[in-house]
Every structure is written in C-alpha cells, then in structure tokens.
Amino acid sequence: MQPRQLLPNLTFLDLYPPTADAAREVLSSLSAATPHLDPKYFYDEQGSALFDAITRTPEYYPTRTETRLLREHARTMARTLDTELTIVEPGAGGCEKARILLDQWQPRGYMPLEISRECLLDATRQLAPQYPQVQFQAVCADYSQALTVPTGHQELPRLVFFPGSTIGNFEPVARRTFLANLRQLAGDDGFLLIGADLHKSPERLHQAYNDSAGHTAAFNLNILAHLNRRLDCGFDLDAFEHQAFYNEDQQRVEMHLQCHRDQHVRIAGESLTLSAGTRVHTENSYKFSVEDFSRELVTAGFQPLSCWLDDEALFSVHLARAA
C-alpha cells in the first residue's frame, strides 16, 4: 500500500490489521486457559478519549510526571544527542508528548505509529501545519507492524520515542523481545527515549488504577465495547466489572474484567461462552527500579546515556544509544 499525501508535509500509510485477523486473534485469546485480551484493543477513538481522561485524574501520576520531566530536560537531551534526527514513535496516541520534542528539538522528520486511525489522523492533521519544517509520516499499525515499516529520512539517525508506562504492559520475555526490536528500529546510529514506571507503595498504585471518577473502569470496559463495534461480538457490558490490583509477587498492577453471569458471544463465526465467574485479563503494568530497567536496555543492545527522575521518584525517563 502506498502512502497518501494529506498535506504538503504529511503522508498517511494505513496498515491497520484486517478484521478477519483481529477476530481470529480475539477468539484465540478468549478461548485460552486464562482468558485475556491484547491491550491494543483498548485504543479505538472512544478508548483514546477515555485514556486521555485518565491522565487528567488526580490519582494517575505517570502522564503529568513524565510530561514535566520531558519539558524540564528536553534541551539537555538535545545537547546530549547533538545531531539532526527523525523521531519514530510507536503507539503515539494523540502525539501530546511528542509536541514537547517538536517544539524544543525541531527534528527533520516525525513518524507516529498508532492503531487508532481516527486518533492518528486527528492529531497529525492538527500538528503538521504547526511544524511546516517537519516531514510527518503517519502510519496506522499495531506494534508488530510498526517495527517493520520504512521510516524514511534514512540518511538521518532515528530516535525511537516510547513514552508513558507502556513498556510495563509486556511480560518479561516479550519485553526483552520488544526492546530488541526497538533497537533494530533505531538502527546502528540511533537512539531510544523511553519512560518506565517505578516501584512505589501498593496503596498509591491502587488509587492510580481505580480512580474515583471511574475513568479507568470505563476504559477497561471499553475494550469490550470496541470489540462489539469492530467485530459485532455481542458482549453485554453490564455483565462485567472492572478489577485492578497490585500483584506484589509479580511486581505489577493487573487489570481484569470479572464476568458476573454467563456470556454467549460470537467471534470469527464461532460461538463462545464465558461462564459466570470468569475473569478476562486485559492488562499488566510492571513496575521497575532504575537499575533493573537499565540492565534490560543493555541486554537489548542499548548503551544508557542518562536517566531523569521526579523529586518523588515516581517515574523515570531513560535516554540510550544503540550500542
């Protein structure tokens, strides 16, 4: 598929997975011994809006903490990098944090990769006219595709930008693979700028994932609403309840949807029953120490350059180069 020219400095490439592929994937994951759903299905247009609401709650610290770190240290980062760059951002969402880098770094190119087509188009159509000197290449894709698409501006070093606490959504083995793939995406002369959430009290974590306004619960349930809209599964959202808790043994927050009565749904042309009492595992959010996460970067083929923390040591931002 060829990119479409939407604006003088904005192209759009649509690699969104076909509906049939998504249906088979969802059927397989819900039929597993431990039913689960891939967190990427949180992010349709409604899910992206709900996550934006979560980031503005008083309980949810990661977004505002990381944003403050980026604003305070972006110029120091630029001096450390000391080169013209193309920024590649898997899972860009509304590109809010990238705006900080666009303002202060003035890169030659920016490639946001996002699974929510509407969110991606809205964000880039607003951003591109504000930064006419930057070539925008918007790609609608999931992470696995995001790591294989051509990045353009091949003559310039690439900085892979992966903010937020999304790296904590990966299981340890999958995380090692994903970080190694980010190293491949960065290239031999590239860089990585990545956020990682840090260990803290279980009470603070419980509040962050069970906000009083109920936005996280709505976000969790929206994964079923999204699948209803996309695949016509027939989930009854009233039959499910949001659950989020800290698993101390695994050092992660887990999110689940508890089913209170039998649910009969149809996916990929097949019938599936989720019995009352079934818990569908929707997301993990692992927490790290700076030292442990730095070691993971080294294992993936990066050389850590700098790390920035807030005063409460709630969150970390790591800058690394390809080793």
Q: What is the pLDDT of residues 10-46, one digit of tens each?
A: 999 998 767 778 999 999 999 999 999 999 999 888 9
- Residues of the chain with pLDDT > 90, as a percent, come to 87
Q: Tokens 């006419």 belong to which residue?
A: 132
Q: Which regions of the chain does DSSP assign to beta strands (E)?
A: 4-7, 10-14, 86-90, 109-114, 135-140, 158-162, 191-197, 240-247, 252-259, 263-267, 270-274, 279-286, 302-309, 315-322
Question: Residue 150 — pLDDT band, cuts 50, 70, 90?
Answer: low
Question: Residue 192 — pLDDT band, cuts 50, 70, 90?
Answer: very high
Q: Which residues contact 18 (CB under 8 A, 6 or more apart)?
A: none
- Residues of the chain with pLDDT > 70, as a percent, come to 97
Which helix (H) or strand (E) element contains residue 295?
Answer: helix 290-299
310: left (phi over 0), alpha (psi -120 to 50) or beta: beta
What does pTM read for this prediction? 0.93
Is the pLDDT at 134 greater than 70, yes or no? yes
Separation CA 12–CA 120 (nearest Å): 9
For the stretch 52-61, pLDDT in tens is 999 999 999 9
Query: Of 22 and 70, which is predicted with more confidence?
Result: 70
pLDDT at position 153? 53
pLDDT at position 145? 61
